[in-house]
């Protein structure tokens, strides 16, 4: 075989490999599966109920649920195109939008639902006692960190005067039990679990900022543009699943992931105390905008974000 023939064969093989790779890439990128990110919290109960009851499948939507440690990680995945839809805290969503990440809030999920829990051996009985103590949050990108910063600010305490660390939420209760930390600002069901284990809830987030938004359903602009019908169905499913949780909190417990429900009785208490919501009515939008203004005042956000860059009504 001459040199020219060998070169021709090599070129043909290279073209075939490139073509096959391109085919695999694009088929994997758009195989009809909607990737939904979430956090290990019963705040996302509507998502879990919808999945457990095959609500997505009944509407012809194939889904893949992916768990993240915190909202910052989830939004990073959404920014890179790895996640289409996310059940995630409003704080990381607003921070991402400010940075230019093309995402929109398409529904509320719940309000409030977090709290500061302290160990009874920590000596903490008031907000002033938090100074110098070790407090864990899910991370600086989380709504819990923002709530801590706001609560301290309202009481003339600088967050730098505390030993604040980022920690995976499922690990916080063990860290509290072993005195690795003095307290934590976390979300349900881990607040209720910690209290049931003999610790003290210093303050609930409903007392820090009454009625504050927490988790939302966010979707990438690409997904909204390319799959408007699926986006609309997802919001409708979220509404139906939310109604089910509201009307059947006890029955919902058995349908939640096992890594979230460590104790069914505790989970029932947690779930029944969460204010679940769906949709984007004017009252809810205003709560988000008010919350955004607080974040601007705290320096969490550099400037206010126009409403049209935050919300997208899939029903319009």
* Run of H or E including 8: helix 3-29
Q: In the block, which residue shows the tokens 């003339």?
A: 156
pLDDT given for residue 2 in this prediction: 54
CA gap 56, 62 in Å, rounded = 7
Average model confidence (pLDDT) across the chain? 91
CA gap 122, 169 in Å, rounded = 19
pLDDT given for residue 28 in this prediction: 38
pLDDT given for residue 272 in this prediction: 86
Q: What residues have CB less than 8 Å from 247, skipping those under 6 apart? A: none
Query: In degrees rounded to 5, what are phi and psi of residue 294?
Result: -65, -40
Residues forming a β-bridge with 86 = 37, 218
Confidence check: pLDDT of 55 > 80: yes
Give the pLDDT band of residue 273 (cuts 50, 70, 90): confident
Distances (CA, A) of 121 to 65, 133, 183, 264: 39, 12, 10, 27
Give the pLDDT band of residue 18 (cuts 50, 70, 90): very low
Q: Which superfamily, per CATH, for 114-208? A: Periplasmic binding protein-like II (3.40.190.10)
Confidence check: pLDDT of 54 > 80: yes
> Contact at 8 Å (CB) between 183 and 119?
yes
pLDDT given for residue 20 in this prediction: 39
Where are the CATH 3.40.190.10 domain residues in the chain? 32-112+214-310, 114-208
Least confident piece of the model among 53-57, 93-97, 199-203, 259-263: 259-263
pLDDT digits (tens, 9 = 90+) for 281-299: 999 999 999 999 999 999 9
Q: Which superfamily, per CATH, for 32-112+214-310? A: Periplasmic binding protein-like II (3.40.190.10)
Return the structure tokens found at 184.
């934590």
Query: In degrees rounded to 5, what are phi and psi of residue 185?
Result: -110, 105
pLDDT given for residue 22 in this prediction: 37
> Contact at 8 Å (CB) between 196 and 167?
no
Q: What is the pTM of this model?
A: 0.86
């Amino acid at each position: 075989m001459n040199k020219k023939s060998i070169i021709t064969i090599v070129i043909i093989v290279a073209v075939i490999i490139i073509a096959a790779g391109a085919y695999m890439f694009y088929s994997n990128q758009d195989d009809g599966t909607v990737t939904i990110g979430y956090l290990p919290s019963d705040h996302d109960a509507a998502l879990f109920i919808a999945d457990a009851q095959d609500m997505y499948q009944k509407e012809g939507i194939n889904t893949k649920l992916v768990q993240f440690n915190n909202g910052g990680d989830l939004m990073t995945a959404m920014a890179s195109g790895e996640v289409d839809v996310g059940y995630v805290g409003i704080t990381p969503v607003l921070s991402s939008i400010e940075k230019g990440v093309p995402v929109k809030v398409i529904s509320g999920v719940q309000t409030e639902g977090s709290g500061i829990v302290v160990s009874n051996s920590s000596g903490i009985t008031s907000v002033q006692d938090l100074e110098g103590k070790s407090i864990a949050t899910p991370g600086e990108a989380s709504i819990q960190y923002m709530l801590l910063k706001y609560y301290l600010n309202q009481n003339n305490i600088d967050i730098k005067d505390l030993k604040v660390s980022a920690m995976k939420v499922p690990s916080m209760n063990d860290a509290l039990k072993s005195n690795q930390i003095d307290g934590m600002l976390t979300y349900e069901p881990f607040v209720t679990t910690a209290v049931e284990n003999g610790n003290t809830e210093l303050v609930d987030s409903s007392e820090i900022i009454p009625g504050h938004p927490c988790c939302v359903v966010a979707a990438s602009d690409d997904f909204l543009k390319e799959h408007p019908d699926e986006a609309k169905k997802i919001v409708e499913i979220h509404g139906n699943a939310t109604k089910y949780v509201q009307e059947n909190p006890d029955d919902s417990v058995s349908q939640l992931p096992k890594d979230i429900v460590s104790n069914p009785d505790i989970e029932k208490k947690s779930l029944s105390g969460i204010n679940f919501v769906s949709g984007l009515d004017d009252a809810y939008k205003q709560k988000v905008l008010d919350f955004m203004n607080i974040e601007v005042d705290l320096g969490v956000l550099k400037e206010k974000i126009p409403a049209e860059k935050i919300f997208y009504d899939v029903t319009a």
